[in-house]
């Protein structure tokens, strides 16, 4: 809050602090509900997250069908046309990247929790929903979300208890590769556009071509570094950009959470944020180890740990830390920690009563 006093744009800083307060309030309410009844609340959160992703995916597919089929089947499937279809927005202010990220979160957070707790018939319904979500993530051409999903699926292989999540990971990877095969051999030649997204990024980094998604981020990070050099200790104020600019290339954030906080709240604030991040990670890791006696809680703790890792991967390329993803993860970590303390106190009381 102190950064408002030296902010290059106090009004902007106040507005962003209000947004942080709103998300903190949402997180605090989730923590209270999880502390009261963890099992029921986490199930409701998982179900609502997954259902919302399905609704968003179908809405996206309907728009895709409406605006895309004629272009793709007309024999003029250019990169510009594909990009315009991929940028279809379904009510997300940040466009397709945030849309794809939320759908990815439903697959990395909600789906594993639900999949391990439902009957075989419901699992079939869930897998159908996963297929729909996979298709939309691929059609958005969001490289960050696609890589995040792949990272999660690979990390999931390392969880071997009862082979539940290992089998789930194999199914997720198989579905992804199956969709890739369909894309490679489809009649409208989508493969070039999907693969080109990653090839263009590599060539852009090598300076061979221009890709706005890559060059735009590099430009944002360059301004963030300039801001850090000029206001190393104080920062420019939360929510602000270099020199008080309203936007850089049409964007109002640095697309990297760590650079953002360093540039906006200075060195001390950045160190505190890093400590906060490491503390959350260590706590999530220890919680996974602690719940060896309860498979469901151990599973959820591990899912939360993986989502924490995946979120911070995505935060290197987007996000501003007021996102429903992280403010679902954080209160869940604290709720699991609260339950841990409760369990330990009960054990202590029982051991004392035995005397």
Is 63 or 179 the better-scoring residue by pLDDT?
63
Q: List the single range of 147-151, 267-271, 326-330, 350-354 with lowest mean pLDDT.
A: 350-354
pLDDT beyond 60 at 175: yes
Q: List the single range of 72-76, 85-89, 167-171, 275-279 with lowest mean pLDDT.
A: 72-76
Give residue 345's pLDDT band: very low, low, confident or very high (50, 70, 90).
low
pLDDT beyond 60 at 120: yes
Q: Cβ(71)–Cβ(77) under 8 Å?
A: yes
Tell me how far apart the alpha carbons of residues 122 and 124 are, in angstroms, rounded to a whole number: 5
The whole-chain average pLDDT of the chain stands at 80
Check residue 353 and give its pLDDT: 46
User: Pick from 197, 220, 200, 64: which is nearest to 142 by CA?
Assistant: 197
Check residue 68 and give its pLDDT: 64
Q: What is the 3-state secondary structure (H, E, C) of the chain?
A: CHHHHHCCCHHHHHHHHHHHHHHHHHHHHHHHHHHHCHHHHHHHHHHHHHHHHHHHHHHHHHHHHHHHHHHHHCCCCCHHHHHHHHCCCCCCCCCHHHHHHHHHHHHHHHHHHHHCCCCHHHHHHHHHHHHHHHHHHHHCCCHHHHHHHHHHHHHHCCCCHHHHHHHHHHHHHHHHHHHHHHHHHCCCCCHHHHHHHHHHHHHHHCCCCCCHHHHHHHHHHHHHHHHHHHCCCCCCCCCCCHHHCCCECCECCCCCHHHHHHHHHHHHHHHHHHHHHHHHHHHHHHHHHHHHHCHHHHHHHHHHHHHHHHHHHHHCCCCCCCCCCHHHHHHHHHHHHHHHHHHHHHHHHHHHHCC
Check residue 110 and give its pLDDT: 93
Check residue 351 and give its pLDDT: 47
Check residue 3 and give its pLDDT: 59
Residue 76: CB atoms within 10 Å:
10
Region 8-31: what's the mean pLDDT?
91
pLDDT beyond 50 at 176: yes
Is 216 or 218 the better-scoring residue by pLDDT?
218
**Token output for 264:** 């906006």
Is 307 or 73 the better-scoring residue by pLDDT?
307
pLDDT beyond 50 at 352: no
pLDDT beyond 60 at 350: no
Tell me how far apart the alpha carbons of residues 215 and 223 are, in angstroms, rounded to a whole number: 12
For residue range 261-287, list pLDDT tens digits in order: 999 999 999 999 999 999 999 999 998
pLDDT beyond 80 at 77: no
Region 234-256: what's the mean pLDDT?
81
Check residue 180 and give its pLDDT: 66
C-alpha Rg value of the chain to the nearest Å:
22
Place of tokens 């945030």: 98
**Token output for 342:** 């409760």
For residue range 287-319, list pLDDT tens digits in order: 888 887 787 888 899 899 999 999 999 998 887
For the chain, what's the residue count?
355
Q: How far is CA 300 from CA 43, 174, 235, 268, 335, in A?
A: 11, 23, 37, 33, 11
- Can you say how many angstroms the Cα of residue 41 is from the centroid of all Cα atoms in its chain? 20
Tell me how far apart the alpha carbons of residues 105 and 93 are, in angstroms, rounded to a whole number: 17
pLDDT beyond 90 at 65: no
Check residue 78 and give its pLDDT: 58
Give residue 156's pLDDT band: very low, low, confident or very high (50, 70, 90).
confident
Give residue 63's pLDDT band: very low, low, confident or very high (50, 70, 90).
confident
Check residue 325 and give its pLDDT: 93
Is 162 or 63 the better-scoring residue by pLDDT?
63
pLDDT beyond 50 at 348: no
């Amino acid at each position: 809050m102190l950064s408002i006093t030296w902010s290059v744009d106090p009004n902007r800083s106040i507005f962003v602090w209000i947004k942080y307060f709103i998300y903190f309030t949402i997180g605090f309410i989730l923590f209270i509900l999880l502390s009261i009844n963890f099992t029921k609340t986490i199930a409701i959160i998982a179900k609502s997250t997954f259902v919302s992703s399905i609704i968003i995916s179908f809405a996206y597919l309907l728009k895709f069908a409406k605006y895309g089929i004629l272009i793709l089947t007309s024999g003029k499937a250019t990169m510009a046309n594909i990009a315009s279809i991929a940028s279809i927005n379904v009510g997300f202010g940040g466009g397709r990247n945030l849309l794809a990220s939320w759908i990815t979160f439903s697959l990395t957070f909600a789906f594993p929790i639900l999949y391990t707790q439902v009957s075989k018939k419901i699992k079939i319904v869930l897998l159908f929903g996963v297929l729909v979500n996979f298709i939309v993530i691929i059609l958005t051409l969001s490289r960050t979300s696609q890589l995040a999903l792949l990272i999660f699926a690979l990390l999931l292989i390392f969880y071997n208890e009862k082979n539940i999540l290992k089998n789930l990971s194999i199914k997720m990877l198989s579905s992804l590769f199956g969709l890739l095969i369909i894309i490679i051999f489809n009649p409208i030649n989508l493969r070039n556009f999907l693969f080109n997204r990653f090839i263009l990024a590599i060539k852009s980094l090598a300076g061979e071509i221009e890709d706005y998604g890559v060059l735009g981020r590099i430009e944002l990070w360059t301004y963030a570094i300039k801001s850090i050099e000029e206001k190393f200790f104080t920062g420019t104020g939360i929510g602000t950009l270099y020199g008080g600019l309203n936007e850089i290339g049409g964007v109002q954030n640095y697309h990297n959470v760590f650079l953002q906080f360093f540039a906006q709240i200075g060195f001390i604030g950045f160190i505190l944020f890093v400590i906060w991040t490491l503390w959350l990670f260590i706590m999530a890791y220890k919680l996974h180890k602690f719940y060896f006696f309860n498979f469901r809680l151990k599973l959820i703790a591990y899912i939360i740990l993986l989502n924490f890792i995946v979120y911070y991967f995505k935060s290197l390329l987007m996000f501003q830390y007021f996102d429903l993803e992280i403010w679902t993860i954080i209160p869940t970590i604290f709720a699991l920690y609260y339950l841990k303390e409760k369990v330990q106190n009960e054990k202590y009381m029982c051991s004392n009563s035995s005397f």
